[in-house]
Structure 1
Amino acid sequence: MNRGPSHAGRPARHWLRRWGPRGVALAVTGIGLYVVAPSLLAMLDAWPQLEAVRPRWFVLLAALEVGSFVALWGLTRIALSRPRHVRRAGPGAAGAGHGVPAHAGHARWRRARSVRWADVARAQLVGNAASRVLPGGAATGTVVQGRMLLLRGHPADRVASALTAVGLLTTGVLATLPVLTVPAVLIGPPPAHELQLGLVVSLVLAVVVVGLGVLALTVPRVLVSVGFAVGGVLHLLGVRVTAAGVGLALARQRARVRAAFFGNWWRSVMAAAAHRMLDYAALVAALVAVGAQARPSLVLLAYVVAAVMGMVPLTPGGLGFVETGLTGALVLAGVSADAAVLATLLYRLVSFWLPIPAGAIAWASLTVRRPEAAPLRRAGSPVA
């Protein structure tokens, strides 16, 4: 006689377990959009002013953003590629349980060429579009991107490790940029007529980031020492972390990135740096297009602020928060309020809105056209 109430309660619990988190996410997204709605409406009022921007600037911004996306596709493709053959230099040359040669200089490390550019590009475009229209932001986009790669026949374990490594490496590059701008902010050139140098600055910083990234991947003590130093400072400031804890955490993340990109460290770090710096160059081009003047180092700090705000999962893709944060940071960098609003609108039009229809087209091509020879989903296989 007690089974009736328990069975009656199961559908309700199942419904709450399935739809409760989604309802909370939608509620948080709605509140976030309500908070940033005034800034979005104010920015949309500047839309007619885009007619004064010459068409060549739209072409340049689109080319820079396409280059940024291509660099990210290349980085993902490197992480997804599986090793085909390892010729060991001798006994004990293999890594301890990881299949990685200890003496990499004396062994040949070949990667499979089965990862197609089209598969990676379409999956990333779909995930990118999902992160801009669905609650959850980047986390949702990563899940959707992984799902698209699974549909193309890539093993689930490799997809998970590759996307994690790509996220860690690109975030590491972003975290490095503010540190590199500190000397330029302190002893940089005068602010007048210096913004055009931002494209050169992006190239120089990309080279520096590549060098630092390869150094961190090849010399373990570099990143561990940085972690100990940062953890010690945070502990002195009252944060509940320890120097050893931060150092070990960075060491673990470094090991994951190193394993995912083994044998292609230079290419992977170059792709991650190109992805970030081409996106920064697009922001600089948007500012030059509207006639703004500012120091490239301060614009770079504003770009980092916008990128961090884009990671806030309150709205899809940081919609509203990025516009508000980037406009305010540009004003603090010396750009006039009107120019900051117009440059932000132009930059977000190319980097945020235009990739959404591209993602829709990529989704249609991925779901309609299935792979001709998808791997068998046997019981116990990673894909299953």
Structure 2
Amino acid sequence: MADPPRPRRSFPRPRSRRRGGLPRHCRRPPVRCAAPGSCRGSLARPDGARPVTATPEERRRGRRRRPRGWLAPVPRPLRRGVAAFVALLLVEYVVLPQVAGASKSLHLLASVHVGWLLAGVGLEAASLLSYAQLTRAVLPRRDNAPSLFDALRIDLATLAVSHVVPGGSAAGTSLGYRLLTESGVSGADAGFAVATQGIGSAVVLNVLLWLGLVVSLPTRGFNPLYGTAAVVGIVLLGGFAGLVVLLTRAEAQATRILRGIARRIPGLDPQAVHDVVARLAERLRELSADRSLLFAAIGWAAANWLLDAASLWVFLLAFGHTMSPDGLIVAYALANVLGAIPVTPGGLGIVEGVLTSALVGFGSPRGVAILGVLGWRLVNFWLPIPAGALAYLSLRVEPDAPREAKAAELEQLARRSAEDAEDRRTWATRIGLRRPD
């Protein structure tokens, strides 16, 4: 009897040698195949084997390397920075006004006085020129001192960086020091100028706040916010006075303390620290001995703040409200003192919120206060950013340089500014946020 037929075993169907319309060998790259056939345009192996195609990730990278029109030479970090700049601009001028109720006061735009707006822009430009004169006033009078135009461009570049980077005052100070030394100023003189310019200007602002409080308190009463600003002012004024006394009256003790600190910090040269302290003390003595130079520096610092405040007053006037001088000075100085606390770049959001509330408290209509402050911040905070970028390029590259060179220079500026500023983890932790991953 014959054995029953054995059942046929079923084997799995072999996989197709074609995958996605391409042979199975088409897997990985790096040289493109020029041979005719289905693999044309794929990538060939360097050993001469059959051609292979790129992986999805490599294809995405290849697409990213393709030129994108006029934005192709612009580095990606710079494009992202511009996108963030535009996003913040839209948030401040589109979203926040609607949240604050300014959309109900948009009818004021129909009656705005354009002439007063132009006058406000002119006053802001005069304020920036005064700041450039302050820079020149605290530098030694030598043949290699920067001209007014060079000082203005350096200050604009510094402002642009400090308005963009969180905690950007350190990055702006570093950039100002670097640009001054590249213009021919010695390192010690540049350090003294940057420090005196920043601290002295802040001292003058606090003096203006105190004068405004002395005038307004008897007639308008006390506000708890005044106390906060007054405490900040006292700490700043006391620290500045102590620094001046330490460097002019006790230079030997200051040098000994700083040399001892420098010995314990890796990378610091105690002798270099000694030389810098000696030069700073010498410059302070020169500044205090030359009364005309001292008064010129104080005058230019006061002119910078007063012209900026006058620009705000004119922007409010353009929308139909005349602000009292004492209320304007107190509100303006209060907002700038609190905005100097390094929480956001250039006090973004803090200055607007404090200033609007203070102006309303001093009698300004809410709609006028919001629109006036936003218009003033447009020329005070936002316009110096592109102007500073152009000023930096004019200092670093030739006018006829290719666009790629200018983009590379701006990318290097962004990278160095990010390195000089606070780390984002430190910055987020300091203001009470959770550490980002």
Same fold (TM over 0.5): yes
Partner residue, 2:167 = 136
Map of 1:63 onto structure 2: 122
Equivalent residue in structure 1 for 2:216, among 182, 185, 197: 185
Equivalent residue, structure 1, for 2:359: 330
Report how far residue 44 of structure 1 moved: 6.7
Distance between the aligned counterparts of 2:184 and 2:190, measured in 1? Answer: 10
**Alignment coverage as a number of residue pairs:** 261
Secondary structure, counterpart of 1:80 in structure 2: coil
| 1:101-148 deviation line (CA, Å, top 9, x unaligned) | xxxxxxxxxx54633222211111001011111122322212112222
Aligned to 2:434: none
CA contact (8 A) 1:135 1:314 kept: yes
Q: Give 1:246 deviation, angstroms.
A: 8.7
Instruction: Provide the residue aligned with 1:72 in structure 2.
Output: 131
Q: Does 1:361 align with 2:390?
A: yes
Residue 302 of structure 2 is aligned to residue 273 of structure 1: yes
Q: Give the corresponding residue for 2:97.
A: 43
2:17 matched to which residue of 1?
none
CA distance in structure 1 between the partners assigned to 2:116 and 2:322 by the alignment: 16
Q: Hey, what does 1:380 align to over in structure 2?
A: none
Q: Hey, what does 1:318 align to over in structure 2?
A: 347
- Once the 2 structures are TM-superposed, how far is the Cα of residue 53 of structure 1 from its aligned partner? 2.1
The amino acid across from 2:204 in the alignment is: V
Following superposition of structure 1 onto structure 2, how do residues 7-46 of structure 1 map, counting pairs within 5 Å?
41-43=95-97, 46=102
Q: 2:41 aligns to what?
A: none
CA deviation vs aligned residue, 1:305-330 (integer Å, no higher than 9, x gap):
22123313222111111111111111
Report if aligned partners of 1:331, 1:340 keep a CA contact under 8 Å in 2.
Answer: yes
How far residue 266 of structure 1 moved from its aligned partner, in angstroms, is 2.0
**Does structure 1 conserve the Cα–Cα contact (< 8 Å) formed by 2:162 and 2:171?**
yes
Structure-2 separation of matches of 1:253 and 1:289:
47
Give the structure 2 partner of residue 261 of structure 1: 287
Q: What is the correspondence of 1:160-309 to structure 2 with a 5 Å cutoff? A: 160-186=191-217, 248-249=242-243, 251-252=245-246, 258-259=284-285, 261-262=287-288, 263=290, 264-309=293-338
DSSP 3-state at the match of 1:267: helix
* Cα deviation digits, residues 248-272 of structure 1 (max 9, x gap): 4463478868446352112111111
Q: Give TM-score, length-normalised by structure 2.
A: 0.53
Q: Residue by residue, what CA displacement relative to the aligned partner does 1:28-55 show, whole Å, maximum 9, x if unpaired?
A: xx9xx99xx6897222785865454222
- Tell me, in whole angstroms, the C-alpha distance in 2 between the residues paired with 1:319 and 1:44: 17
TM-score, with normalisation over the residues of structure 1? 0.60
Larger Rg: 2
Structure 1 SS opposite 2:341 = coil
1:288-309 C-alpha deviation (Å, 9 max, x unpaired): 1112244321221110122123
Task: State the partner residue of 1:104.
Answer: none
Distance in 1 between the 2:243 and 2:136 partners?
26
Could you list the runs of 5+ residues in structure 2 that have no partner in the other structure? 1-83, 221-229, 250-280, 400-437
- SS of corresponding position for 2:380: helix
Tell me, in whole angstroms, the C-alpha distance in 2 between the residues paired with 1:260 and 1:165: 13
- Residues 47-56 or 63-72, more deviating: 47-56
Asked if residue 350 in structure 1 is aligned to residue 379 in structure 2, the reply is yes
Letter in 1 for 2:210: V
Q: C-alpha deviations, 1:270-294, integer Å up to 9, x for none?
A: 1111111111111111111112244
- % identical aligned pairs: 34
* C-alpha deviation, 1:187, in angstroms: 5.0
State the alpha-carbon separation in 2 of the partners of residues 59 and 39 from structure 1. 19
| Higher RCO (CA-CA < 8 Å; seq separation 6+) | 1
Separation of aligned partners in 2, 1:279 and 1:254: 32
CA 1:154/1:296 → structure 2, altered by over 3 Å: closer, same or farther?
same
Give RMSD over aligned pairs: 3.5
Structure 1 residues 293 and 63: alpha-carbon distance in aligned structure 2, compared to 1, 3 A threshold:
closer
